[in-house]
Structure 1
Amino acid sequence: MDLLRTDLRDDLDLSEHRILDADAYDTPWEHGSPHAAWRLMRALPAPYEGHTPDGVRIWSVTAFPDVVRVLRDTRRFGSEYGTILDVRHGDPAGGHTINLTDPPRHRALRVPTSKAMTTQALRRLGPTVRANVDRMIAPLLEPGVHDAAEHFLALAMAAMGPVIRIPEDMWPLIARAAMAGVAPSDTAYTDGDVGETLHFAHVELFGYLRETVAERRRKPGDDLISLLLTVEVEGRKLSDDDILLNCYSFLMGANTTTPHVATQLLHLLAARHDLGKRVLLGEDRPATVVEEALRWATPTNHLMRRVTEPVTLHGVDLEPGELVCAWVASANRDAAVFDDPYTFDPGRRPNPHIAFGVGAHICVGALSARTVIRLALDRIRERVTGLELAGEVRHLRSNFINGITSLPLEVRA
């Protein structure tokens, strides 16, 4: 999805929009960008009723207060059935992973795993993470033409690698397999048809993680997998399969979001020279630039929930089993919350974005994501004086992840 487009016409017919169709997100929309549709949907008096290409009914909420309400209310809007449109028929990992469990079981998984990614833990790993980021983006900082999307693809592993204790030579494979898992129809990651792509992506990740879990049982350490070996849920230790699924969830969550925030930021800085100059000259605090990049990119377009008990949303009675899609990307453009929401303001304060979600399921890796994006921005501002687009920008084919698969840039250093 090209965030630089501003086709926000008010004369659009929402029935013509393909909001729920993943294949619509990497190509120009005939009837405006998804942000045009979300803008109109936010003005509706009730949730928007739509259907996926295979006929599944989905209720969409798009306004900031409604998205927050759905994501916070884990009692009425559950996560165990599945959290993305691609698994609208049910996720087999439901009830086993931190993102697919609800309180109180969710807390038993979240509290101990959060310890592995606290400020204290990342401070201990700080020099390692910083060195990893420096090494990963060093080629991008040399004068010439580079594909920033490729250089940033494994950026999340700069922090997640040490946290889970995964050797660096595995990072590119894990990052690519994670992206193939969420966008198997995108030509940048496809390997055969969609089914074959998903199969190989899962084989790569699960095969490696299964060996790693077995190795940690033999020789535990202070990493996240070793910590999961000690976790008890409802009086029982996690099985190897539960540990495997949670590690998979952490790696998928990090590798499909963090790199795209950094890439979307560079895309913007290269396309809008006045803004690029301002940011590269360091006129704004790095922390506020990163927060605005998170709001602007909102790498997770949506989060799906399943109604677990009768509930009413703006006069619409929803029964258990109904599916509700909370469009996070829309909420982060809500003019009732953000002044001039379609403008990137590197000094925006306050900035109550929900790019990491909200409530019990707020992203456990938020701090590590902020850390690596900030470190990358620091290095770029130290070394780069200008950025120019140097070729076609390709956007990810996914209604879930707002990503860029190719960003050719001419770097002046």
Structure 2
Amino acid sequence: MRITVPGGAPEHDPERTDLSDPHFYATGDPHAVWRHYRHKAPVTRLAVPGGRTYVSVTTHAETSTVLRDHARYTSRRGNMLSVLGEQDPAADRMMVASDPPVHGYLRRPVAQALSARELAARRPAVRRMARLLLEPLTGGEPWDLAAAMTAFPMMFTGALMGLPEADWPELTRLTTIAIAPADPSSRDDSGGHQLVSAHHELFDYFAEVAAARTPRQDLIGLLQQLTVADRTIRLDEVIYNCYNVLLGANVTAPHVIATTVSAFLEHPEQYRRLLDGDATVASAVEEGLRWASPATHAMRYATEDTRLGGEPVRAGEAVVAWLGSANRDESVFDEPYRFDVARTPNRHLAFGFGPHYCVGAPLARIALAEFFTEVTELVERFEPAGPVEHLASNFIAGIKHLPVTARLR
């Protein structure tokens, strides 16, 4: 997804732009469209091809309300535009597709295992992984940073889940298909979509892993021991939540890294501020998260007739909160289209908000901080080495190709 500074007439007619179209995010300019709606119609009904509608929400305040108020806006019917109007088979079985109190039963033990305190001892290992991944930069040849970064999350999430290293590349490929099924890279040899087969392969894989009787001392073992509403967790729930954890890990870190490095290419003075100590890696990571907004939206369904931003919302209507838009809201962020590695405060919603705040946020922050700490010790300046290609996905704002070279320190 291109990250532009809107000015003048939008490149696309906002009123005729289909924000559900995955290909628009590969070649279009969603930030200009979101800005139009923030200013003209922050809460409004939009349609997708076929006539189905949803309530579009583009401001920080209303997005926060939707994500926080699980009583009025349920997660049980699906959280992605790609399943608009359908029933989610994972309802009350998977963290992301459940509401409290079920959500709490599934989330609390996982959140504790993925807390910053529990993960602190893994920082050196994550740093070594980052160093290993960055090694090709030292050769001076063009290197596709975005493509290389897809391997990064599995290096720590795969280890936490106890998954064999030999399986990591295939699991990465399948999760990419799951979040970007419309992207050309997700098509098979005949040109067809691979989404259904990718889901089958992932669920079959975790079914085999979770059904094994050998006691596990890893994140999957923790899931197998959960109690949900005074009963032992079922096998299908273990499978769904393995999928949930893996998907969440694989869609954040690589795209934040690629988008942040892309921002450094466009704003080299910001990278220099980082090297000179005018900003911390921690603050740069937060700005990278805001700037990238890797999850473009979160969908909920209204459970009752209500009002949002002064507009009526009917019971049963889908509500799509655009996180990428909320993170450019002029009422919250000073000069929101300025990339600022020292930005403070930075109340971004890249990890969501409320009960569904990303359970893996501490792990993602550790991984990003260790990666960019390693970058600042190695790289004096990044330089572009080829065209940037964006992912065709209305759910993940991703860069799939970012060729760079680096002048080393």
The residue number in structure 1 matching 2:25 is 25
Asked if 1 retains the 8 angstrom alpha-carbon contact of 2:42 and 2:56, the reply is: no
The residue number in structure 2 matching 1:14 is 14
Deviation of 1:175 after TM superposition, in Å, equals 1.6
SS in 1 for 2:54: strand
The residue number in structure 2 matching 1:59 is 55
Which whole-Å CA distance do the structure 1 matches of 2:138 and 2:307 have between them?
Answer: 52
Structure 2, unmatched stretches of 5+, are: none
Deviation of 1:41 after TM superposition, in Å, equals 0.9
The equivalent position to 1:50 in structure 2, one of 41, 46, 51, is 46
Deviation of 1:201 after TM superposition, in Å, equals 1.8
User: Is the counterpart of residue 178 in structure 1 residue 179 in structure 2?
Assistant: no
User: Is the counterpart of residue 254 in structure 1 residue 253 in structure 2?
Assistant: no
Asked if 2 retains the 8 angstrom alpha-carbon contact of 1:46 and 1:316, the reply is: no
Q: From the superposition, tell whether residues 146 and 22 of structure 1 become closer, same or farther in structure 2 (CA, over 3 Å).
A: same
Whichever residue aligns with residue 38 of structure 2, its letter is R
Aligned residue pair count: 406
Deviation of 1:282 after TM superposition, in Å, equals 4.3
The equivalent position to 1:155 in structure 2, one of 152, 157, 160, is 152
Q: Deviations over 1:130-151 (max 9, x none)?
A: 3233323322444221000111
Whichever residue aligns with residue 371 of structure 2, its letter is A
Q: From the superposition, tell whether residues 301 and 8 of structure 1 become closer, same or farther in structure 2 (CA, over 3 Å).
A: farther
Q: TM-score, normalising length from structure 1?
A: 0.93
Q: Deviations over 1:115-172 (max 9, x none)?
A: 2101222123333333233323322444221000111112222321222112322222
Q: Deviations over 1:203-241 (max 9, x none)?
A: 3322322222123x32221x1111111111112111111
Asked if 2 retains the 8 angstrom alpha-carbon contact of 1:42 and 1:62, the reply is: yes
The equivalent position to 2:227 in structure 1, one of 232, 236, 243, is 232
Which whole-Å CA distance do the structure 2 matches of 1:119 and 1:141 have between them?
Answer: 31
Q: From the superposition, tell whether residues 213 and 334 of structure 1 become closer, same or farther in structure 2 (CA, over 3 Å).
A: same
Q: From the superposition, tell whether residues 165 and 395 of structure 1 become closer, same or farther in structure 2 (CA, over 3 Å).
A: same
Whichever residue aligns with residue 65 of structure 1, its letter is A
The residue number in structure 2 matching 1:138 is 135
User: Is the counterpart of residue 289 in structure 1 residue 270 in structure 2?
Assistant: no
The residue number in structure 2 matching 1:332 is 327
Which whole-Å CA distance do the structure 1 matches of 2:252 and 2:158 have between them?
Answer: 15
Which whole-Å CA distance do the structure 1 matches of 2:270 and 2:310 have between them?
Answer: 43
Which whole-Å CA distance do the structure 1 matches of 2:182 and 2:318 have between them?
Answer: 24
Q: TM-score, normalising length from structure 2?
A: 0.94
The equivalent position to 1:77 in structure 2, one of 65, 68, 73, is 73
Deviation of 1:271 after TM superposition, in Å, equals 2.8
Which whole-Å CA distance do the structure 1 matches of 2:211 and 2:9 have between them?
Answer: 57
The residue number in structure 2 matching 1:2 is 2
Q: Deviations over 1:74-104 (max 9, x none)?
A: 0000001000100112322122100100011
RMSD over aligned CA atoms reads: 1.8
Deviation of 1:192 after TM superposition, in Å, equals 4.5
Q: From the superposition, tell whether residues 247 and 294 of structure 1 become closer, same or farther in structure 2 (CA, over 3 Å).
A: same
SS in 2 for 1:49: strand
Q: Deviations over 1:319-353 (max 9, x none)?
A: 22101100011000001000000000000011111
Which whole-Å CA distance do the structure 2 matches of 1:64 and 1:390 have between them?
Answer: 36
Alignment of 1:257-268 (within 5 A): 257-268=252-263
SS in 2 for 1:387: strand
Which whole-Å CA distance do the structure 1 matches of 2:355 and 2:113 have between them?
Answer: 17
Deviation of 1:66 after TM superposition, in Å, equals 0.4
Identity of aligned residues (%): 38
Asked if 2 retains the 8 angstrom alpha-carbon contact of 1:10 and 1:40, the reply is: no
Which whole-Å CA distance do the structure 1 matches of 2:400 and 2:261 have between them?
Answer: 13
- Higher alpha-carbon deviation: 198-207 or 359-368: 198-207
Whichever residue aligns with residue 347 of structure 1, its letter is A
Asked if 1 retains the 8 angstrom alpha-carbon contact of 2:298 and 2:322, the reply is: yes
The residue number in structure 1 matching 2:310 is 315
The residue number in structure 1 matching 2:118 is 121
Q: Deviations over 1:264-301 (max 9, x none)?
A: 01111123332333334443111000000000000000
Deviation of 1:10 after TM superposition, in Å, equals 5.2
SS in 1 for 2:184: coil
Asked if 2 retains the 8 angstrom alpha-carbon contact of 1:188 and 1:405, the reply is: no
Which whole-Å CA distance do the structure 2 matches of 1:76 and 1:23 have between them?
Answer: 32
Which whole-Å CA distance do the structure 1 matches of 2:105 and 2:266 have between them?
Answer: 45
SS in 1 for 2:194: helix
